[in-house]
Structure 1
Amino acid sequence: MSAPMATISTPAFRTLLEELGGCDLYGSEMINAASLLTGGPFESYYLMGDPVPEKLVHQLVGGDVETLWKAAEYLDRIPGFGIDLNMGCSAPEIIRAGGGIRWMRSISDARRLLAGTRARVKRKLLSVKLRLGEREDPEYLLSFCQALVQEGIDFLTLHPRTRKDKFGRFARWEYVALLKKHLSVPVIGNGDVRSYEDYCRVRERYHPDGVMIGRAAVRAPWIFAYIRYKEKKALPQNPFTVNLHEIALRFLDLLPRYQPKEFLESRAKRFFKYFSENLFFGHQFFTQVWNASGWEEIRTIVDGYFSLHPEEVVRVMG
């Protein structure tokens, strides 16, 4: 499953993933519940189901119970696979508004939110994505997640880092194994899966029901297809090949179809922050992209880089 990532998991990015082989489920960008209900100018872009609505999980974020209830009820009426409640975001502005990981401070508050949401979400699966909490506390984490299960969630995703960790420490996948052992719903793990080898390691060691990949899928949008390729044990004479230049241009072509003009530059820069890690001179390339003044200039920079470095256009993987 591809992770819900703010400013990244747009319909354009999801379409790119699907064209490169796709994954089982797609997470949307975070959808602010209050903005959804008040009809913000860009909400229609967040709600797009492309490329495959039946594989899309819309993720809601917010700090007000009744607003989240109404937003979930609205999302339940539009095409999609599921609705996910964000209880893991550690961005300061989200926490100040009472959302994200703030929900993990009170089991009773989380119960009330889930009970009302479950009563309103009747057509889709309901899930929660969360972190370890404010600190490592296995007993509290398990009690919290058991409460979510009792209130009717269909599955949950754990990003096993604390609020203060952000992305600074390795994800502690042993907590995924803990939840998998004690909960009666599927448990998906997320964090530090950057390669096929990482994927195999967490599957074999911690036995999650699924694996969610976030930033690594931006760096390598073909990662889901490559995992399937490796699992099929393809013959050496059929190597897995990607064209980095074509992928970069395809993403830029998709952006105007699925994003307002106000977002084109920022979304392109966010994508290339990670995608540039594929390039030998990636730091120099991304500096140029970051300093670009417009989506069109970014395209020119992409073409220019691969013209200067044709040896980097095609990547062959065994």
Structure 2
Amino acid sequence: MKPQNFAILLVAAVLSLAVAVTAYVTTRPWTVGKIQAQTMLPALKADENKIAAIEINQGGKIVKVADKNGKWVIASQEDYPASTDSVRKLLLEASDAQLVERKTAKKDKLGLLGLSDPKVNGASSRLIRFLDDKDRPIAEIVVGNKKADAFGTNKNGSYVRKPNEDQAWLANRAIDATAELHDWVKTRVVDIPTDSIKTATIEVAGQSAYDIERDSDGKSFRLTQMPAGKKLKYVNTVDEIIESASYVDFKNVRKAKASDTLKDAGKATFTTDKGLKVELDLKSDDKQAWVTVKPSGDGDAKKDADAMSALVKGWEFEIPVAKVSGLLKKQADLLEDAGS
């Protein structure tokens, strides 16, 4: 073999080794060694310890979920109903999790595992505290980054550490709960198929109301009364209004207030084939927008109205400002001269 060829092969071998070492270190950060698996939070297994609340502090943002008279609520959000499934999921993940691999104990390396101080503004780490009915901690854990496929395909793990300790561990469960509201509630409070909506009325503040009805094709929508000499500027404009009315996703929630500095933007009301009636009363100042939802119905529609009322009665919801402009369109802005 020529010396030149040998040198090329040697360089290639060194580069391959470097890539392999880098990949190994990246996927197995600061592994000190595997240990005999031990329960992450043994206190959660004890029968005498009844969890009355869960508190998550993430980057200074705190959400607290509590058991109030047998129902889980967001105590930090004026006791808005929480998702029981979300609570059960976290309790199952945390109680089943085991510490299976010791990681770094160097404080300056914890941030790379997502395990920096969770109380520092903007931190991604989460301090999860399981509390009793006196708000005393039963168990606590700091949770960092998820390790995807750590224990096989779709079997993820989480980097964790105990509060006030720098020793990091790999746990064999993905603990996904955060301090974001959407992790704890059903954020879609209105969800109606558009093809089940029969009629709608749009009332833009300061404007005359106009009506919409489902067209004969059973799918599209039209103005119930088209002003003489006018036509729609865009064929799908009315369909888009109905689409916007058919669902409401919120990003924040509060108790409905009798007085508010936000001005009335208008109201959208629609009815379904079953007879369910939903009123969306909107307020906005072009920087933020809130909506109250009022469902009603008799007969077949009562069950749907009652289910929706359980989530919306007495509450108002913050929605994207763009939702208001998409839903409350002035009739004049929809039309143009028929001869255009």
Q: TM-score, normalised by structure 1?
A: 0.22
- Higher helix proportion, which one? 1
Structure showing greater radius of gyration is 2
Greater relative contact order, per chain length (Cα 8 Å cut-off, separation 6+)? 1
